[in-house]
A and B are shown apart, each in its own frame.
Chain A
Amino acid sequence: EPEVTQTPSHQVTQMGQEVILRCVPISNHLYFYWYRQILGQKVEFLVSFYNNEISEKSEIFDDQFSVERPDGSNFTLKIRSTKLEDSAMYFCASGDLATFFGSGTQLSVL
C-alpha cells in the first residue's frame, strides 16, 4: 500500500536556525498538506498546496514558514528562524478521495 514518507523522523535544532522538513506524498495525489501536533494536543492544519501553489494557510503559517515542491516527488516545509514554540510533531499529508498522513517529523527547538 502506498504511503506518505517523511524525513527526518527527528530533528533537533537551536532557536533561530532554519530547518527543512521533507516529504514524499503518495504518487498520484494532487493535494498536499502540512499539519502539526503539539504533544498531547490535537492535529492542527498549517497549509495546503495544489497545482504548485498554496491554496490555503492557517494563522500559524506566518512569514517564517514556506512550502515548496522542488521536483515531481518531494514536498518540503521550511521554517526560516525556529522558535521554541515551533517544537511539535509535523505531519505531511496527501489526498485524493481521502487524506493520508506520513509518520511525522518530531521537531525539537532548544
Chain B
Amino acid sequence: GENVEQHPSTLSVQEGDSAVIKCTYSDSASNYFPWYKQELGKRPQLIIDIRSNVGEKKDQRIAVTLNKTAKHFSLHITETQPEDSAVYFCAASMAFGNEKLTFGTGTRLTIIP
C-alpha cells in the first residue's frame, strides 16, 4: 500500500520567514495530495490540495508543489505568522474525496515572534 514520508518532524522559524515541509510517497498511482493543518485538540483542517495534473498551486501565503516523477510534494508558507503554528500533515490518495487518505507523520511548526 501507499507510504507517505514527511520531513522535518519539527520546524521552528522566525515570524515573517518562510517554512517548507516536504513529503514523499511510494505509490505512483496516487494523484491527489492534500495538506491539513491541525491545531492542538482540533480537527485536521484542509488548507490546500493539488492534483497530479498540476505542478504548483498557490493560495495567498500558502503554495504546494508536486513532482510526480520524483514522487514528492512540498508545502511552502511565506511571511509566517504566529497563527501558523500547528501540526501540518501531508496526505496522498488515488482520487479526491472518494478514496482513503494516507497521511504523513506530521510536522510541528512553531513560529517564533
Q: Which residues of A does B touch, CB under 8 Å?
A: 29-31, 33, 35, 41-45, 48, 50, 56, 91, 95-104
Contacts and interface: CB of A to CB of B under 8 A. Distances in A.
Contact of B101 (A41, A45, A50, A97): A45
Given A42-B89, A91-B44, A99 B103 contact: no
B43 interface: yes
B4 to A, nearest CB: 9
Contacts, number: 54
B98 A101 contact: no
A56 B44 contact: no
Interface in B82-113: 89, 93, 96-106
B interface secondary structure, majority? loop
A99 B104 contact: no
A interface secondary structure, majority? strand
Given A98-B49, A99-B93, A100-B46, 15 more contacts: A30-B98, A33-B100, A41-B105, A42-B89, A42-B103, A45-B100, A45-B102, A48-B100, A50-B98, A95-B96, A95-B97, A98-B34, A99-B97, A101-B43, A104-B43
28 contacts: A30-B98, A33-B100, A35-B101, A42-B89, A42-B104, A42-B106, A43-B36, A43-B89, A43-B101, A44-B103, A45-B100, A45-B102, A48-B99, A48-B100, A56-B100, A91-B44, A95-B97, A95-B98, A97-B97, A98-B34, A98-B46, A98-B97, A99-B46, A99-B93, A99-B96, A101-B45, A102-B43, A104-B43
B42 interface: yes
Contacts of A48: 99-100
